[in-house]
Every structure is written in structure tokens, then in C-alpha cells.
A = this chain, B = another copy of it.
Amino acid sequence: MSLRDATSASPATLTTTLAGRLRDAILRGDLEPGSKLVLDRIRVGYGVSLSPLREALCRLESEGLVEAEDQRGYRVSPVSADNLTEVIRLRVELEGMAVREAILHGDAAWEGRVVSALHQLSRCVHGARSAEEQEVWEARHRAFHAELISACRMPLLQQFCETLHDQSDRYRRIFLKDHAPDRDVPAEHAAIAGAMIERRADDAAKLLREHVERTGRNIQAALRGAA
């Protein structure tokens, strides 16, 4: 059971809705890494009470997007080159494993979902003009990567991958905010999807690894530039 899925599956309790809004704000970079989250300010800002706010932050903490310290409140998780390196490293390793399992267990229905997700992703532009278009691309991009490993039959692994993917998305959106993509990302996605559907496990893992690591290197470069 994914934490994010709960947003749509259940009747949406206030806590769940709020967690989603805050997560988006952090992933989008609206809330600066390392900045203190003053509960009372957020409370009035979002028009809720403290209880659901605390619970929402607690969920975000388990996703590694905020950090809490007893008696000292919450802050947005800081960013660092070391942390990014670890995130990329773990993504490569874990998504690699998940991809191989998905290839092993995926059926025709799964293939269809992958093709569909790829198609929907290809229908929106990456370097989008409006912020809204960007959000659509982000959502479909995330959905595509999730679909690739959806057949792996390892729910825990899927959750780890989702968490790591969110982390790396945050870095990309903060540090590659106005960089034009330097490579043919849609082609990379198509190549990965193709390899998976054709059951070429080694190729798929290799392509995904390169895809993730290339993005990682670009972010590292921008991060060094910012510091």
C-alpha cells in the first residue's frame, strides 16, 4: 500500500489531503530545504488545526521529506551532495532489482499499462511553458516509472523505490529548475519501456541505470554551481 495512493483511494481525510499539498510544495521546491516549518504559520496558511497538520508532517517524515526533532519541531529535509549521491545509488540498485522482478512476473496487462503510461507521458512536453503543464508532466513521469516496476510483486521494494524517486525528483526540480534538458529524455523512456516489454532484463536495468545516473550527474553539477 503506497502512502500516496491513499490520497485517491480513501474518502480523503483532512490529514491525507494536507499531506499531499505539503508534499507537492516540498517537491516543487516552494518550501526551501532546511527551512523551519513553523506549525502555527502553516496552520493558519492552510486553514486547519494542529492535529491533522502534525499527522501530515509525520507522514512526510516517513518519506524523508521533512525531519523532526523532539521538542524542536519540524524542518524541511536539507539537501546535500552526499545525500543525493546516496539517493541515486540506492535508486539504481533497488529499481534495478525491481525491474528484473517485474520482467519476470509481468503479464500482458502489465505490458499494456507500461505502453499506456509511456504514451501519455509522450503527449506532454517536458520543458513546458506553464507551471500547470509542468505539473502534468511530473505526474505522468512519476506514473511511468511506477508502472515499470508495478509487476514486481514486492510491495516493500515498490515503496522504497517510490520514496527514493520522490527524493530525487525534489533535487531535480530544485536544481534543474530552468535548465533545458540536454538529452533526448523521451527516447530514453521509450528505450527502457521497450527493453522491459521485450523481456531484455539486462538491457532494461542498464538503460534505467544510465537514465538515473545521467540525471544524477546533471543535478550534482548544478548543485556544485549553486554552492
Contact = CB atoms under 8 A, between A and B. Distances in A.
Interface of A: 1, 6, 9-13, 15-16, 51, 54-55, 58-59, 61-62, 64, 67, 69-71, 82-83, 86-87, 89-90, 93, 97, 153-157, 160, 164
A3 B90 CA distance: 20
Contacts of A12: 70
Question: What are the 7 tightest A-B residue pairs by CB atom distance, in nearest-first order?
Answer: A62-B62, A10-B70, A58-B58, A13-B70, A86-B154, A86-B156, A16-B70
Nearest to A155: B86
A204 to B, nearest CB: 18
Contacts of A64: 156
A188 to B, nearest CB: 25
Taken together, the copies of this chain in the complex come to: 2
B54 A157 contact: no
A97 B59 CA distance: 27
Contacts of A97: 93
A160 B160 contact: yes
Nearest to A52: B54
A154 B69 CA distance: 20
Nearest to A152: B86
Given A1-B67, A6-B70, A70-B11, A87 B156 contact: yes
